[in-house]
Copies of this chain bind each other. A is one copy, B any other.
Amino acid sequence: MIKKVLVANRGEIAVRVMRSCRELGIESVAVYSEVDRKSMHVRYADDAVCIGPAPSSESYLRKDKIIEAAKLTGADAIHPGYGFLSENADFARMCEKEGIIFIGPSPYAIDTMGDKITARKTMIAAGVPVVPGTTEPIHDIKTAIDVIMKIGLPVMIKASAGGGGKGMRLVKNEEDIISAISGAKSEAKAAFGDDAVYIEKYISSPHHIEFQILGDKHGNIVHLFERECSVQRRHQKVVEETPSPIMTQEVRMKMGADAVAAARAVNYYGAGTIEFIVDDNLNYYFLEMNTRLQVEHPITERVVGVDLVKQQINVANGLPLAFKQEDLKQTGHAIEMRIYAEDPDNNFMPSPGVIKHIREPLGLGVRHDGYVYKGYEIPMYYDPMISKLIVWAETRDEAIARMKRALFAYKITGIKTSIPYLHRILEVPDFIKGRYNTHFIEENQQYLKKQNTSTERSIDMAAIAAFVDYITKLESLQTEPNTKQQLGNNWKDFGRKRSALRF
């Protein structure tokens, strides 16, 4: 059984993994780069080893140094978190070779799912739906029509040799098929000297819905239902929730079974995620598999009532899963929002810096997974995510209200954060209704722009607070310094006093 886990990561996920280790009575080892000496994971861990300079390539991505640190501290397992080396099959293999348990899937599963083409082929073989389309170039119109009729409208026709939108045609109606193919072909011919085209199903309002799965080393695989992740900015998830507001129980069961089939196709063990692209009619297609813990795993933990990190460790220990599919169910509604050190009102410019003051949101139904603290300097070298706010409530409406309450109470000064932006997302009518897809952010710009909520009184209060602070400083400066109070009586007696310093 695992006795000591090295966490090959930093930030909130490192602390989160260590928390579960502590509950299991397992010691934890932090590795850290030179700029991370004061980081919370170093303080939280039982052991800590420095593995190099700030750039990830010289520290958190250095497989050799991490393995060395594990040996130095006697760690018998490594948890990779997410990002960094979490989906690196070579690292998993190195661990295996060195007799260290890699808390994650087999290198084979990582490799297979890591390559898009292999993954697609594996899924087709396993009977998991993928986005329909041709894999060979088409030259004649008749074949093209046949393919389109088989895939079903709408489709996107793309020039085989193409790029830059040339030779691309979106077909929505049957009567446009022939003219679209002809047009695409002649445009392709003119542009690239080749009139071959590809045809792919076009999903006009795509939803990103993923399924959490868990497998053990005895062939048992279950899914822990879906997460709706369609609120994305530049392909980065911003909000995740479960259950998905567009899901039906019937489709959920079908998708869950397909997610399990997808995992089974690579003999998956550990925690993993099957990402699907879903259209408005709940047709769904395999997109990719993440062979690791996801950032958004806590919403599943809350709604299903399972500690996923503990499950990962149990699986790595060779234990069978403690539950069957029929033991699992969803209760209530959970939402996660990611808090970034960035300025949402200035093109999301990153905002590293020193946390001057922090007040974390607490209370019923609120989980806050973070790692920064007062006085901590967020380094400029890593991802700007500083924490995740996860709320649970009986219903989706209540969860939204709770998230607003939590954002209201969450105060950080010293850096800019995405908190005001997240507030605005919760006020967008389409979000409130649960009717959104991956175009949500771009379609709702008018709601997401900074609103001027200033009143004369709030401006005056801001001015007054600053002014009172200023004149208080001024006054204390003009008063004779009361050294005695600051340094204790004894300093003065011994004539050591040179001046009163802040310490």
Contacts and interface: CB of A to CB of B under 8 A. Distances in A.
A298 B364 CA distance: 8
B373 A362 contact: no
A394 interface: yes
Interface in A244-285: none
A295 to B, nearest CB: 14
Interface in A447-500: 472-473, 476-478, 480-481, 486-487, 491, 496-500
A332 interface: yes
Nearest to A297: B364
Contact of A500 (B298, B331, B500): B500
A501 interface: yes
A24 B477 contact: no
B405 A364 contact: no
Interface string A230-255: 00000000000000000000000000
Contacts of A476: 501, 503
Interface in A344-363: 359-360, 362-363
A500 B503 contact: no
Contact of A401 (B24, B373, B481): B24
Contact of A405 (B23, B332, B359): B23
A477 B502 contact: no
Q: How many copies of the chain does the oligomer comprise?
A: 2
Nearest to A496: B477
Interface stretch (A3-11, A118-126, A300-308): A300-308
A87 to B, nearest CB: 23
Contacts of A19: 363-364, 405, 409
Highest count of chain B CB atoms <10 Å: which of A19, A23, A25: A23
A93 interface: no
Interface string A332-345: 10000000000000
B359 A16 contact: no
User: Main secondary structure on chain A at its contact with chain B?
Assistant: mixed
Contacts of A481: 498-501
A66 B498 CA distance: 53
A487 B476 CA distance: 12
Contact of A362 (B369, B402, B503): B369
Contacts of A369: 362-364
B367 A363 contact: yes
Given A23-B401, A503-B472, A370 B359 contact: no
A367 B409 CA distance: 15
A139 interface: no
Nearest to A43: B359
Interface string A26-44: 0000000000000000001
From A365, A398, A496, A497, name the one whose CB has the most chain B CB atoms within 10 angstroms.
A365
Contacts of A398: 23, 307
A368 interface: yes
A382 interface: no
B503 A486 contact: no
B498 A478 contact: yes
A317 interface: no
Contacts of A331: 305, 331
A20 interface: yes
Most chain B beta-carbon neighbours within 10 Å: one of A362, A365, A370: A362
Q: Among the interface residues A369, A501, A502, which one has the most CB atoms of the partner chain B within 10 A?
A: A501
Closest 8 CB pairs of A and B: A502-B502, A23-B401, A481-B499, A22-B405, A19-B363, A23-B405, A473-B503, A476-B501
22 contacts: A19-B363, A23-B398, A23-B402, A25-B401, A44-B409, A307-B365, A307-B394, A307-B398, A360-B362, A362-B367, A363-B367, A364-B369, A366-B367, A374-B374, A472-B503, A477-B487, A477-B498, A477-B501, A480-B499, A499-B500, A500-B500, A500-B501
Interface of A: 15-16, 19-20, 22-25, 44, 298, 301, 305-307, 331-332, 359-360, 362-370, 373-374, 393-394, 398, 401-402, 404-405, 408-409, 472-473, 476-478, 480-481, 486-487, 491, 496-503
